[in-house]
Amino acid sequence: MFFGKKKWDPRGKHCYVTGGSAGLGLGLAVLLAKRGAHVSIVARNQERLDKAMLELEAARQSPDQIIKAYSYSVDQAKEAEAALEAVCGAHGGRSPDALFLCAGKSRPGFFVEQTEESMQMCMQETYWAQAWSALAASKRMVRDGVKGKIVFVASVLGYFSIVGYSPYSPGKFAIRGLAEALQSEFVLYDIGIHICFPGTILSPGYVEENKVKPKITLKIEESDTGLNPEVIAGHLLRGVEKGQFHITYDFIGNVFRASTRGSSPGNNSLLDQVYSMIGAIALPIWRKDVDKQVRAHADEHHQHLASQGLLVSSGASK
Amino acid sequence: MFFGKKKWDPRGKHCYVTGGSAGLGLGLAVLLAKRGAHVSIVARNQERLDKAMLELEAARQSPDQIIKAYSYSVDQAKEAEAALEAVCGAHGGRSPDALFLCAGKSRPGFFVEQTEESMQMCMQETYWAQAWSALAASKRMVRDGVKGKIVFVASVLGYFSIVGYSPYSPGKFAIRGLAEALQSEFVLYDIGIHICFPGTILSPGYVEENKVKPKITLKIEESDTGLNPEVIAGHLLRGRSLTVYINLILTAVAGVEKGQFHVTYDFIGNVFRASTRGSSPGNNSLLDQVYSMIGAIALPIWRKDVDKQVRAHADEHHQHLASQGLLVSSGASK
């Protein structure tokens, strides 16, 4: 177990949730409020924050809970710091006890259609949107001696990747890389690190994502029907309470978690051995099938590229 | 096998090597020249490029080989594109056949000592320095119909991470994420994707890296080289740059020739490759099963020991932070 046998309890703790006005972040914030935590949510859009506050107030258990919303763009370093400063203001300047870093979005697409701007925007939304808050909060937690927690949100696409996700997976893999380093390093401060790997989240963000997603990508992932944010929030919080480092909650997540574990602390359970063996057998088969689907799509794809003017008809040399 | 049974041969192919003036990139460039490839190396420093060209000319096999050096900073998108444009100029505008993306550096340090600038600089040097070239070259390869290769260089610290590498591992994990997506996607174009995971590379870059590396990090990784920086520098000064890490370079090129997706060359690399495989295409060998089992048993034990070493370092570390002014003495609440 990560922190000994005692479960972590959100009651009375100050929980800081980025991306807290919708989707997974809102689901988590509501759940934490129901558990008696102080909750600060941060997001960009004031309107959505106001709506979210109505839900949070409905979930309030006690008048002592400090529940607030703040409008900041945490994908920028200085705003992430300013957000934290503002949030701590309502708590006597003290660092939050737990961060839930849910801010982010996904914009899939073919690699050859990306630009410098789109690649950077995607890294902002998948990596920096969490890293800046983690940096600002870590400094405060260490300075204030708060033995807190930081919960990163990656994706199963931080365990593997497929066609269409070259703008998305690098940042989600990077979140894992950061969490792996911090899990080791923050033993120095008794600060707990957790990272959740959700599959499809049936959120407003997912609707936006699918507007730009390549058809071949949609086809390959169609078996992942997804779960509602509230359900995933429940799994995530349970994982944090139990002290798990990598948090997964469905078959795909568990198989990938066990199959890509390397030296990441886990629960060394027999069940994970089984997941690992399933992965060793099933994943190569699945992967060959994915490659086959992509190959079958090649002609249609080249027609698509030609229509975008990305191919020249002359000079096609080998 | 990735491309069928036939081995890939560098002879007569145009190989584009970023970070090609020193370290792994230079070693690769020299080896490719010896194998009869056309070689274009790209790096920042003109002096080092000039010295590198002497080594490359010494490795030349035939007068037909086009061997050139170009000075650009490929961690910037527009320069990465301009570099490629210039390089293709000597080849009738045609895309290179193979990219070896070795540009980059490592600046380890404690997370709480990082700034916005240092974090961004590290992502530039670990991720963008390769991603921009991959983006520019992919568009050209697809446009020209070149069924080429892109070889990324990650690190074993793209398989796992430890204290001190929060500025480095994110970018190296990100390289893996990009390679995984492109391996799948570039089946559309018959472009091969490879990614190498070196351990410690005894290069000039390593000497620089160790000047800033936390002591606790050096301690934990000391089993990886058994060599101290002065000994490494000695090898380099005596011109033994190639021999010191020839094993890595030979294995890297051999891995690309054999069509391997993840290329690792030592025990640590192999164990981590097999233990973190997930759905990444591999060679499905019995040996990899063995590596995987070794990993399942040995890595948790190793990890617990690492955590123990870090915990033991906590007091000394807090004194270090205090001396940097990063702790306040009051308000230490739980």
**CATH number of the CATH domain containing B166:** 3.40.50.720
Distance from CA of A50 to the nearest CA of B (A): 30
pLDDT tens-digit series, residues A87-101: 999 999 999 999 999
Report the phi/psi class of residue B38: left, alpha or beta, with left for phi > 0 and alpha for psi in -120 to 50.
beta
Catalytic site residue from A168, A213, A249, A275: A168
Q: How confident is the model at residue B244 (pLDDT cuts 50, 70, 90)?
A: very low
- A168 noted as active-site residue: yes
Task: List chain A residues with CB under 8 Å of B307.
Answer: 184, 187, 265
Give the distance from residue B209's alpha carbon to the nearest chain A alpha carbon, in angstroms.
Answer: 17
Q: Do A187 and B310 touch (CB under 8 A)?
A: yes
d(CA B72, CA B82): 8
Whether A309 is covered by a domain: the verdict is no
At A269 the three-state DSSP class reads coil
Is A275 a domain residue? no
H or E stretch at B18 = strand B14-18
Residue B291 in this model has a pLDDT that exceeds 80:
yes
Is A37 contained in some domain? Answer: yes
CA-based nearest residue to A184, from A175, A176, A193 = A193
Whether B174 and A178 lie within 8 Å, measured CB to CB: no
Q: Which among B114, B299, B334 is the nearest to A262, CB-wise?
A: B299
B308 belongs to a structural domain: yes
Decide if A228 is inside a domain.
yes
H or E element, residue B123: helix B116-123
pLDDT at B88: 96
In a mutational test of the A interface, the residue from B185, B190, B213, B272 whose CB has the highest number of chain A CBs within 10 Å is B185
Average confidence score pLDDT of chain B = 88
Taking only the tens place, the pLDDT of each residue in B172-229 is 999 999 999 999 999 999 999 999 888 777 677 887 888 899 999 988 887 665 445 4
Model confidence at A151, in pLDDT bands (50, 70, 90)? Answer: very high
Nearest to A246 by CA among A268, A230, A226, A228: A268
In terms of C-beta distances under 8 Å and separation of at least 24 residues, what long-range contacts does A140-144 make, across chains too?
A: A140/A84, A140/A88, A140/A95, A141/A95, A141/A189, A141/A191, A142/A189, A142/A191, A142/B112, A142/B321, A142/B326, A142/B327, A143/A95, A143/B326, A143/B327, A143/B328, A144/A94, A144/A95, A144/B328, A144/B331, A144/B332, A144/B333
> Is the predicted pLDDT of residue B241 greater than 70, yes or no?
no
Kindly tell me if the per-residue pLDDT of B334 is higher than 70: no
Contact yes or no for B278/B188 (Cβ under 8 A): no
Q: What is the pLDDT of residues A70-127, one digit of tens each?
A: 999 999 999 999 999 999 999 999 999 999 999 999 999 999 999 999 999 999 999 9
Q: What number is the average pLDDT over the span B282-304?
A: 90
* For range B83-96, the mean pLDDT: 96
The answer to whether residue B153 is domain-embedded is yes
Residues in B touching A295 (Cβ below 8 Å) = 187-188
Q: What is the pTM of this model?
A: 0.93
Flag whether A296 is in a domain.
no
Catalytic hit among B70, B72, B127, B168? B168
- The structural domain count of chain B equals 1
Using CA atoms, how far apart are residues B249 and B258, in angstroms rounded to an integer?
14
pLDDT at position B202 is: 66
Structural domain including A224 reads: 14-249
Classify residue B272: in a domain, yes or no.
Answer: yes
**To the nearest whole angstrom, how far is the Cα of B175 from the nearest Cα of chain A?**
6
